[in-house]
Structure 1
Amino acid sequence: MATALSVNVNKIAVLRNSRGGTEPDVVLAASTCLDAGAQGITVHPRPDARHIRAEDVYALSVLTRSRGVEFNLEGNPFAPPRAGYPGFAALCAETRPAQATLVPDSDAQITSDHGFDFAGDLGELRERIAELRALGCRVSLFVDAGCPDVERAAEVGAQRIELYTGPYAEAFAQGDAGATIALCAQTARRAQAVGLGVNAGHDLNDANLPQFLRGVPEVLEVSIGHALIGDALYRGLDATVKRYLDAIGRGG
């Protein structure tokens, strides 16, 4: 099965919020990505509403449901609700995304930069995953390549992992990604051996995607936002999505 492309449209909301108002339109941008062939839409609303807001999540859930494509909602399940942010579980309960990707980020992080630590008692994480699965969400956990306890993701009820690919992208840019690809592949195989599906995301782009997908077996989905939206400033959104789909095809 070909690797699916889920486009993260957070950066569209960053641009909109920098000026105020409604432009550029997050839903129209997502629809354009789907028209170009993307198989899903991803957003990562943060409690401080720095980009994607709760109302965007609601609108995108309607769009993706009407188009029959995957909606992937990312977030920290432990971040408390606050004004303008009802909490991750509440957003999932209201929108029922196909996939809930759990990320252990804090408010202070500019972007997600590490995966879950599966050492110690994971009872609270298991409870949050059970709540999401009861809503009909497939649950994926953000993990580091080389995670020593990746098998525990299955123990707590997750169905997939998402490999954090930031270190791979950095190594690729420096011209020597062999060791990081091997580590990603090893982690993927360990996860797959206990029945977990494997997704990947962070700093992937049309240049480094083919090598990554050739080296890491059976990646089900890549979630890409920052690089793709940046490239679209020069090439246009439709052309850029098609370019990324072509890169995925070259990695198959």
Structure 2
Amino acid sequence: MRAAASTPVLRVGLNKVALLRSSRGSAVPDLGEAARVLVDGGCRALLVHQWPDHRHVKPEDVSALARLDVIRDERASLHVGGDLREDLGALLERTPGVGCWVVTPFEAQHLTTQRGWRAEDDQARLVHWARSLQGRTRICVFVDPEPEAVDLVARAGAAAVELNCRAYVEGFETPARERALEALALAADRARQLGLEVNAAHDLDRRHLPPLIRAVRPTLVSVGHAFVAAAVIAGLREVLPGFLQAASEE
């Protein structure tokens, strides 16, 4: 029998905030302000992905976020996702305050990550960066819920796995949900046996979290698109009265 689940850390991704900003080529909305609002509200981990095509987050965004007081005084940790390219590794080497590098395969044709680390990926480079950043930045690898993938991460010397919840989310309203949860739970058990921390991510919404947490017992769960989408709707209700008032003033 698995032990009862403890409360995981909720990590919030800022990618879609950056995407909105970049769509106008301006500084609005401000990533630093968004980060402070989240941390002031109780969030203890933030995530940005820095992809080679800079589709939302730029290298200078990572540096600026790492300099925020809420990160420097450790009220929250900053995690950076991306592929194993040299320029990103070098950025993390020279940027104090980044708590974790979430290693994720990059496939430019996809709007977001679709798969986890596999045997055909560059295992030697993963080993290199796990060793190079030891003691400064933890390495967490995004994996599909398969024991073989977990074993690859453990052999590379990484600190954690981030389980790909795509199949669970896509099958949530179908009988496939329970099969997906069982696969996630087995992969999580395997990871813990090998001394790895277990995190979970990919398109998770509020309704997905309770069953996932009970079955998988992750240390951290990551939300992003669904969180920002909900925030937009809630924000419309909050912001509209002020704009109506401003428009009616002479």
TM-score, structure 1 length as denominator? 0.85
SS in structure 1 at match of 2:169: helix
Which residue type is aligned with residue 83 of structure 2?
A: N
Matched, 1:73 2:73: no
Distance 1:42 1:230 in 2: 16
Out of 21, 25, 28, the position equivalent to 2:30 is 25
Which residue type is aligned with residue 127 of structure 2?
A: R
Q: 1:15 to 1:65 in 2, by over 3 A?
A: same
RMSD: 2.0
SS in structure 2 at match of 1:227: helix
Q: Deviations over 1:7-52 (max 9, x none)?
A: 1101001111111211011111111111111111100011111101
Which residue type is aligned with residue 73 of structure 1?
A: V
Aligned pairs (5 A) from 1:23-172: 23-63=28-68, 64-78=71-85, 87-96=87-96, 97-118=98-119, 122-133=123-134, 136-172=136-172
Q: 1:17 to 1:196 in 2, by over 3 A?
A: same
Given that 1:118 and 1:153 are in contact with CA atoms closer than 8 Å, whether structure 2 keeps it comes out as no
Q: 1:155 to 1:176 in 2, by over 3 A?
A: closer
Distance 1:5 1:216 in 2: 14
Structure 2: unaligned runs, 5 residues or longer: 1-5, 239-250
Given that 2:51 and 2:106 are in contact with CA atoms closer than 8 Å, whether structure 1 keeps it comes out as no
Larger radius of gyration: 2
Which residue type is aligned with residue 100 of structure 1?
A: W
Given that 1:98 and 1:137 are in contact with CA atoms closer than 8 Å, whether structure 2 keeps it comes out as yes
Could you say which residue in structure 2 is the equivalent of 1:248? none
Out of 8, 12, 21, the position equivalent to 2:17 is 12
Given that 2:44 and 2:75 are in contact with CA atoms closer than 8 Å, whether structure 1 keeps it comes out as no
SS in structure 1 at match of 2:107: coil
Q: 1:61 to 1:120 in 2, by over 3 A?
A: closer
Distance 2:173 2:22 in 1: 31
Q: How much has 1:124 moved relative to structure 2?
A: 2.7
Identical positions, percent: 33
Q: How much has 1:151 moved relative to structure 2?
A: 1.8
Structure 1: unaligned runs, 5 residues or longer: 81-86, 240-252
Q: How much has 1:166 moved relative to structure 2?
A: 1.1
Given that 1:9 and 1:41 are in contact with CA atoms closer than 8 Å, whether structure 2 keeps it comes out as yes
Which residue type is aligned with residue 80 of structure 2?
A: L
Moved more, 44-53 or 66-75: 66-75
Given that 2:84 and 2:125 are in contact with CA atoms closer than 8 Å, whether structure 1 keeps it comes out as no
SS in structure 2 at match of 1:150: helix
After TM superposition, where is structure 1 displaced by more than 4 Å over at least 4 residues in a row? none
Moved more, 35-44 or 107-116: 107-116
Q: How much has 1:216 moved relative to structure 2?
A: 1.0
Which residue type is aligned with residue 227 of structure 2?
A: L
- What is the number of equivalent residue pairs in this alignment? 229
Q: How much has 1:138 moved relative to structure 2?
A: 1.1
Q: Deviations over 1:86-135 (max 9, x none)?
A: x211221122311111111123331111111136983232112212225x
Given that 1:129 and 1:139 are in contact with CA atoms closer than 8 Å, whether structure 2 keeps it comes out as yes
Which residue type is aligned with residue 16 of structure 2?
A: K
SS in structure 2 at match of 1:77: coil
Could you say which residue in structure 2 is the equivalent of 1:83? none
Given that 1:118 and 1:150 are in contact with CA atoms closer than 8 Å, whether structure 2 keeps it comes out as no
